[in-house]
Amino acid sequence: MSDHAATLAQAQEKVEACESLDALKAVEREYLGKDGLVAELLARIPALPNEEKPAAGREANVLKQAILQALDVRRARLAEAAIASERSATGFDPSLPPPRTQRGTLHPITQVTRELEDLFHSMGYSVLDGPEVELDYYNFEALNIPADHPARDSHDTFFCEGEGKLVMRTHTSPSQIRAMESFEPPFRVVAPGKCFRHETTDASHDHTFHQMEGLVVDRNISVAHLIGAMKTLLRGIFHRDLEVRLRPGHFPFVEPGFELDARCPFCQDGCSVCKQTTWIELLPCGLVHPNVLRAGGLDPEEWGGFAFGLGLSRLVMLHHDIDDVRHLLANDLRFLEQF
């Protein structure tokens, strides 16, 4: 046996005897370290006669690789043994993959709200939040709906107990007054959020639903501005240009008030969504009533505005072909996991 073969055999024996990673490291240091045996062999080469140098170098390297390999094999064995002993001692298997975690998704209303917020943001609108428990003043009075006004009947209202006249807001329109109070005109805002109505629920009515209010205040605002903004909104939602039409609509806080319809984006000549009419009712809107501007502290001689109330719940239903509004807030995972 050559010197190297004997050295290798001895090294392999030591490696096999190691019972820990620390012990392996010590053997590695002894043979392959800075002052180890292999380093010593290499250091001797320059002093050898020239014709012996290449072979000496090659042999030292072969020895080094063989020792490295023995170390690797032993290291893998020790790791396996560590896992096996942990498994049998604790019943825990660190080599198993972790249990699959379930990732949630955003609620479809949240998805649509965020998409619209981005769209309006790109058109220069600010996004506002408003309280869900609202003063009667903001929900009705300041919106040109005084006590005893017949329009109050159509807003089946949840009244809050306690002091002050508090209601669960029946629409997002109170944000109009709050916006006029906190922004200097000209300004544009949208205010998405929950609304509440004390009414019998059915496939198209729920006690809680979502709207997005829009309000633009500027000088010389006309119906043309309103139509332009709504066409841009439609393009953002349906990704193409849709014909629109206005029908008269009555809301105390706008004059004139309209119902805006859009050509059905789902068909050419009638389908179940548009009830064979080729038009879908999209949103109520209008030019802000002078009394509302006054309530917001603005002079109607100087400032004008348009407003709209987009039904977010309805929009989500249209978008995903959902036939019952009550699915939206029922919190049933079988429904929610589809989005």
Say whether residue 308 binds ligand DAH (CB under 6 A).
Answer: yes
Report the distance separating Cα 284 and Cα 209, nearest Å.
16
CB of 164 to ligand DAH, least distance (A): 22
80 φ/ψ angles, rounded to the nearest 5 degrees: -60, -45
Question: Is residue 12 part of the contact set for ligand DAH (CB under 6 A)?
Answer: no
Comparing CB distances to ligand DAH, the nearer of 25 and 205 is: 205
**Contact, 251 vs 288, CB < 8 A?**
no
Q: In the chain, which ranges are E strands?
A: 126-127, 133-135, 166-168, 187-196, 208-218, 244-248, 254-263, 279-288, 304-311
Distance CA 327, CA 258 (A): 29
**Residue whose CB is less far from ligand DAH, 296 or 309:** 309
Q: Applying CB under 6 A, does 317 fall inside the site for ligand DAH?
A: no
- Least spacing, CB of residue 130 vs ligand DAH, in Å: 12
Examine residue 295 and tell whether it contacts ligand DAH (CB under 6 A). Answer: no
Indicate the residue type of 322: I
User: Phi, psi (5° rounding) for residue 210?
Assistant: -120, 140
CB 282 within 8 A of CB 263: no
For the CB of residue 176, give the shortest distance to ligand DAH in the complex, in Å.
7
Please pick, from the candidates 64, 74, 171, 314, the single residue that binds ligand DAH as defined by CB under 6 A: 171
Which one, 7 or 173, has the nearer CB to ligand DAH?
Answer: 173
**Cα separation, 186 vs 180, whole angstroms:** 10
Q: Which is nearer to ligand DAH, 303 or 308 (CB)?
A: 308
* Contact residue for ligand DAH among 12, 139, 173, 175 (CB under 6 A): 173
**Three-state SS across 133-153?**
EEEHHHHCHHHCCCCCCCHHH
Give dist(CA 105, CA 148) in Å, integer. 45
- Residue 205 phi/psi, 5-degree rounding, is -130, 135
Of 24, 112, 280, 307, the one binding ligand DAH by CB under 6 A = 307
Nearer to ligand DAH, 189 or 318 (CB): 189
Please tell me the count of residues contacting ligand DAH according to CB under 6 A. Answer: 12
Is 286 an interacting residue with respect to ligand DAH (CB under 6 A)?
yes
Q: Does 254 bind ligand DAH (CB under 6 A)?
A: yes
Under the binding rule (CB under 6 A), the answer on residue 251 touching ligand DAH is yes
What does the DSSP assignment read for 74-117? HHHHHHHHHHHHHHHHHS--TTSPPPPPPPP---HHHHHHHHHH
Nearer to ligand DAH, 63 or 254 (CB): 254
Stretch that binds ligand DAH, among 48-56, 266-274, 278-286, 296-304 (CB under 6 A): 278-286
Chain-centroid distance of CA 176 in Å reads: 27
Closer residue to ligand DAH (CB): 228 or 270: 228
Q: What is d(CA 48, CA 275) in angstroms, rounded to the nearest whole number?
A: 100
77 token code pair: 């064995």
Question: Applying CB under 6 A, which of residues 213, 260, 262, 292 lies at the interface with ligand DAH?
Answer: 213
Q: Which of 285, 292, 312, 328 binds ligand DAH (CB under 6 A)?
A: 285
* Residue 284 or 304 having the CB closest to ligand DAH: 284
Both ends of the chain: CA-CA distance in Å? Answer: 73
Interface with ligand DAH by CB under 6 A: which range of 95-103, 226-234, 262-270, 282-290? Answer: 282-290
Q: Which of 192, 284, 296, 304 binds ligand DAH (CB under 6 A)?
A: 284
108 vs 193 by CB, closer to ligand DAH: 193
Are 278 and 267 spatial neighbours (Cβ–Cβ below 8 Å)?
yes
Site residues for ligand DAH per CB under 6 A: 171, 173, 213, 251, 254, 257, 284-286, 307-309
